Chain A
Amino acid sequence: MKPAALWRIGLVIGLVALLEVLCLAGVIDKLTMQPPHVMAMDIWRMLASGSLNAAIAKTLGNAAIAFLLAMAIGVAAAIAIHRVKAVREALDPLFATYYAIPIFAFYPLLIILFGLGDAPEIFIGTALGVVGVIVNTLNGLDRVPRVLMKTARIARFSTLETAWRITLPYASPYILSGAKLAVAYSLIGIIGAEFIMSSSGMGYEISFAYNNFDNATMYPLIVLVLVVAGTFNAALGRWEKALMARRGLV
């Protein structure tokens, strides 16, 4: 292992240990944060008892739906937009300013339109992620070498076949960068929406536990969300790196 990686692991362990000592010594009081070992035990207890499994399943399930929708819509839209130059030019300013717009401000409208339930939450998660996927996919499609497109034309591929066999595989590392964004954004969208207004899910449970000073429930849930997001992102990042390495790009 490289020394930098060892240092990094050492640093993380050191930080957790520091937190543990500060919490046990009472510098950070119990109402603010629990010592890490208590959090770990709480996670185990929570998962074993199954009391919050329904909320966890609902949130992660919705996030997965939002992620898949963002990927499917994003990649399809990018292929369509890439073909028509005028549409792309018109949409460019929208893409450039999109993430400056607070999408959560539309949540109340979505609740009124779809009712309080899964649909507005999934809509927010998808809407947040989709533009990241579109922009990254377009970036990848831009880089497909001309010669590959010519080969496709010589082989008389149809539009779909060209996308499936040439452009999408070529753009896959860039699409994976978009996928990493979509993982984070779908979780942000779902949990944020649950925070603001909802009656179930992890976001709701976290905010309920916060309001009741129930740190034994709040911290395990937060750590669980971070672990899930971190694991997914690390896996996608590794895949992306492997694809890039195969092309000698790293």
Chain B
Amino acid sequence: MTASSVRSLRNGAVLILVLLAIWQGLYWMVGDVALRSPLQTVMFTAKLLGSDSFWPHLAETATAFGVALALSVVLGLAIGFALGTNRFANDVFEPMLVTAYSIPKITLYPILLLMFGLGISAKIAFGTIHGVIPIALFTISAVRNIRPVLVKTGRVMGLRPFEMVTRVLLPAAMPEIFAGLRIGFSLTLIGTLLGEMFASQRGLGFLLMNAIGLHNIDVIMALTFLLTLFAGAASILLLHMNRRLQSPA
């Protein structure tokens, strides 16, 4: 283990301890009305994970998120490679993508609900529109930054467009694309959950909204804890892989 990875482990541990301390301190200040202590939350989370009624909701969210993520990655990479290799098309479309990235997409959700109807497809669509744009934007810039000599070599070898993408462009652009995938991952998750919190009958987002309505703090805390844990762990894992990709082997 290198010195830098030891340091980042130590930093992570310190951060988690501080956050736990703040959480416990808040609990002491606010009390049972609005919060649960870390220990109570973990215990209730374990109980929740043991109950039968929880798993269908988790499966629904996991399905919606998985499909949305797959769609975001495929569409994002396709758009990214198409625009990254074509200068003029990029000049036309990239500013539109940047604008689309910065608008508050949550206002579009009712339109998606009207288009796709209530159910899992609207959630998937909502998750996808969150994830696809950053992946596309990062891919465009990654492809544009590839050293021209690599592309020229590929052309000298007479590679077909598909081979060009799989053999040259994708490996060369991977580190930067991966940064886009990481952001796309988090945004897709947020999009899917938001979709479930509004006009939905299944999924973790629905459970959360239901718990708000019933003022069931145990469930709210446990779900928030689970989601944060999952998102944080996934993000750290992706970040780690990203660093490995970026540092030359």
- A residues neighboring B (CB under 8 Å): 2, 4, 7-8, 11-12, 31-33, 89-94, 96-97, 99-102, 104-109, 111-113, 180-181, 183-184, 187-188, 191-192, 195-197, 203, 206-207, 209-210, 218-219, 221-222, 225-226, 229-230, 233-234
A16 to B113 Cα, complex, angstroms: 20
Q: Which of B11, B199, B236 contacts A90 (CB 8 A)?
A: B11
Q: In which size bucket is the chain B interface? A: 35 or more
Task: Write the B25-64 contact mask toward A (1 if CB under 8 angstroms, else 0).
Answer: 0000010011100000000000000000000000000000
Determine if B224 and A93 form an interchain contact, defined as CB atoms under 8 angstroms apart.
no
Chain B: minimal CB distance from A146 (Å): 24
Pairs A–B under 8 Å by Cβ, sample size 17: A11-B92, A11-B96, A12-B96, A32-B115, A33-B111, A90-B11, A90-B15, A93-B11, A93-B12, A96-B235, A100-B232, A101-B232, A104-B194, A104-B197, A206-B110, A222-B107, A230-B102
Contacts of B5 in A (CB 8 A): none
Chain A: minimal CB distance from B79 (Å): 15
Determine if A96 and B239 form an interchain contact, defined as CB atoms under 8 angstroms apart.
yes
Determine if A109 and B92 form an interchain contact, defined as CB atoms under 8 angstroms apart.
no
Q: Known: A108-B220, A111-B212, A207-B198. Is A100-B235 also a contact (CB below 8 A)? A: yes
Chain A: minimal CB distance from B69 (Å): 13
Determine if B211 and A108 form an interchain contact, defined as CB atoms under 8 angstroms apart.
yes
Is the C-beta of B228 less than 8 angstroms from some C-beta in chain A?
Answer: yes
A91 to B11 Cα, complex, angstroms: 8
Determine if B108 and A222 form an interchain contact, defined as CB atoms under 8 angstroms apart.
yes
Determine if A90 and B14 form an interchain contact, defined as CB atoms under 8 angstroms apart.
yes
A197 to B185 Cα, complex, angstroms: 26
Contacts of B221 in A (CB 8 A): 109
Q: Known: A109-B35, A226-B107. Is A2-B193 also a contact (CB below 8 A)? A: no
Determine if A113 and B232 form an interchain contact, defined as CB atoms under 8 angstroms apart.
no
Is the C-beta of B20 less than 8 angstroms from some C-beta in chain A?
Answer: no
Determine if A109 and B11 form an interchain contact, defined as CB atoms under 8 angstroms apart.
no
Is the C-beta of B247 less than 8 angstroms from some C-beta in chain A?
Answer: no
Residue of B nearest to A28 (CB): B115
Determine if B15 and A102 form an interchain contact, defined as CB atoms under 8 angstroms apart.
no
Q: Known: A96-B239, A100-B186, A218-B110. Is A105-B104 also a contact (CB below 8 A)? A: no
| Highest count of chain A CB atoms <10 Å: which of B30, B96, B231 | B231
A111 to B217 Cα, complex, angstroms: 12
A170 to B47 Cα, complex, angstroms: 53
Determine if A108 and B208 form an interchain contact, defined as CB atoms under 8 angstroms apart.
yes
Chain B: minimal CB distance from A182 (Å): 11
Interface members, chain B 100-118 (any A CB < 8 Å): 102-111, 113-115
Q: Known: A96-B239, A97-B236, A222-B111. Is A102-B212 also a contact (CB below 8 A)? A: no
Determine if B239 and A97 form an interchain contact, defined as CB atoms under 8 angstroms apart.
yes
Q: Known: A2-B91, A8-B96. Is A222-B11 also a contact (CB below 8 A)? A: no
Determine if A89 and B7 form an interchain contact, defined as CB atoms under 8 angstroms apart.
yes
Q: Known: A108-B211, A207-B198. Is A113-B14 also a contact (CB below 8 A)? A: no
Determine if A195 and B227 form an interchain contact, defined as CB atoms under 8 angstroms apart.
no
| Highest count of chain B CB atoms <10 Å: which of A2, A12, A195, A225 | A195
Determine if B193 and A104 form an interchain contact, defined as CB atoms under 8 angstroms apart.
yes
A230 to B33 Cα, complex, angstroms: 41
Determine if B92 and A4 form an interchain contact, defined as CB atoms under 8 angstroms apart.
yes
Q: Which of B34, B88, B103, B114 contacts A33 (CB 8 A)?
A: B114
Contacts of A92 in B (CB 8 A): 11
Q: Which of B18, B99, B111 contacts A233 (CB 8 A)?
A: B99
